[in-house]
Amino acid sequence: MHGWIILDKPLGLGSTQAVAAVKRNLRSAGFGKVKVGHGGTLDPLATGVLPIALGEATKLCGRMLDASKTYDFTISFGKETSGLDAEGETVATSGQRPTLAQVEAALAQFIGPIEQIPPAYSAIKIDGQRAYDLARAGAVVEMKSRNVTVHDLCMRSVATVGALNAVTLTADVSKGTYIRSLARDIAYAVGTVGHVSMLRRTRAGPFSLQSAISLDKLNAFGQGATQEDIILPIEAGLVDIPALNLSPEQARAVQQGRVLTGIAMKDGLHWARGADLRPLALMENIDGIWKTVRGFNLTP
């Protein structure tokens, strides 16, 4: 069992719980013990695309964590919370509300490389402990700023005409970007405070909502429903990089861990496949030297 289940994670379900649900349903469907991992945490208060890797696809989880992601999110103005979301204690309030023009004008400064301070309630480790564990214990958590990239940021909808109580945006961001921090900083930029009241991930790397299934559909699979459209092949997580077709001799060399040369293609990551089109390895080409980054053990 190798491949991907792309879950449209529902509200209130944690990423670890989602992985447990996949394991449970695979066992119920008769697949026995399968190695399972996820490609990017989603908070319980967030919904949307959660790639869950099975078997050899778990070797790509690190690459999925590094991939860019797209989110729809709503900033509710007037209240900032300790977690920068709909939960947590109120830490600041403001009667100031921005106009649509003010929000639109502010967005430009958040597109491109930016610095942001992650939320105290985050999974970042500080001296070996998760920041959210320290924050929940009442410790003063000092978060260091980090460099991230916002590839695109645009308006989706607004709650009112005139002064805005809330605004919904779409952001395409690099790895490590915290949407809750982005929302906080946008609110500051328009002279008020705010928090994220809705967060939905619509894309994670090559996976979008179009390939995502509901928790109900996952549970139906565990109860005997057809596998169709439930489990995607391992190469579905590789469609955003070029394929490298290998001869039988080259394929054997890769399986033996040898470096390849003499293949004229662009530098960067590629996924190698043999004559039967099975993925053999994730490979990187640097100046004509091909080295294996991750090998896949997929039997015919």
Residues labelled as active-site residues: 43
Q: How far apart are CA 83 and CA 291, in angstroms?
A: 43
State the CB neighbour count (10 A cutoff) for residue 38. 23
Where do we find the tokens 């989602």?
18
Bridge partners (DSSP) listed for residue 203? 70, 208
Contact yes or no for 170/70 (Cβ under 8 A): yes
Q: What angle do CA 132, 133, 137 make, to 5 degrees?
A: 110
Q: String of b and e for 120-151 (b: at least 16 CB within 10 Å)?
A: bbbebebeeeebbebbeeeeebebeeeebebe
